[in-house]
Structure 1
């Protein structure tokens, strides 16, 4: 518990996490307000449409999680942490737990806040969470941001440089996965198993790209939604294990 308290203090004692949290929340709720205000009538608005800003908020959360690690490497405070805590595994797991929990709660607040602002702007719209798919689309955002933060922390531990880690994560999650589909013959098959594409499968629950789905991008994955979440969680855990093993073998 002491390690968790220390990591909580370190996370909230600097300005960048606060700015990132405010930006992620503002982007997701702001896009929901924009989409709701732009709808010509209440019938056009749906629960998935209220989550239109998820991709942008996720990008900011990835930056937040990465900075929580790379900032320590930049200012060499990670060296002090490893000297104070005999087990690097414990220290890194504590950091991961705190940052991932904060990211998950932030994603949850942003998702429900988006639905809330949409209801305020379009009170006659059908935005009630009446199905498992609706609940997964909104409440499931917290689970995806939780595990996405684990992936970002792992990348930060492995790369250690803010610019490199942030650039890699954003380029991969926003651009590279979609570009894989352009590879002749095997591109679409590979894309089905890429982690952020699979994460969208959990949220949208619909692999049929012929159907218009607003909010988080439609997924080409054919996994069942909860199997998709398990896959994404497994990927995050594997990344974290690799990062911790690497951190233990090299100098701080």
Structure 2
């Protein structure tokens, strides 16, 4: 890979991973639109590592409190709101793990076309817009119930369809259940941690034993750029939705999806 490709892919991954616009759609389409060669599995792992580091660092205080509360609960102490939130994150991750394991080959072989991506961007974008427009909830991530968690976890499994957006569909479900914009976004970001760990872990396992050489400098730069851009994205997104809501992202999804359908099937 040349350095332009490294920078573009890292920024695309970092910016789109946590926005409700589908990072997978953008990463699939970059080589299609640029005719670049596939970046390879090792570089994908590096990009996901950058995104993971960003969300862990951003929510470090919350994650530490969740971890210490879980340890206290295991010792027989009271289950507080942080331990309960950690449990909700785990439970909401189970559906996407199960469906992803069963449908991984189907998704990778048959569902990565620009047509599917374009339709998914539009349909799930409009659903996000409806949820944000109709619902004005006030509940935070600490006020979730088991039923809420199962609904959000089930919605997250839909993100295996390219163009859906994992963050977008989980925020949509959370908004429909009466959560605030900030609460929906923060829970979605916390949910990204086990998903990225599991997805990156599977890619890393596949990488073991492959004879292809690894471009160390490119992977390092990709990890750093992906992480820095993802951290900035989380910060500014949480500030933006307080004032403007989800509608700018809905408009972007609809326009982008319509362009894809016109460009590839017009």
TM-score bin (small chain):
0.3 to 0.5
By relative contact order (CA 8 Å, sep 6+), the higher-ranking structure is 2
Q: Give TM-score, length-normalised by structure 1.
A: 0.33
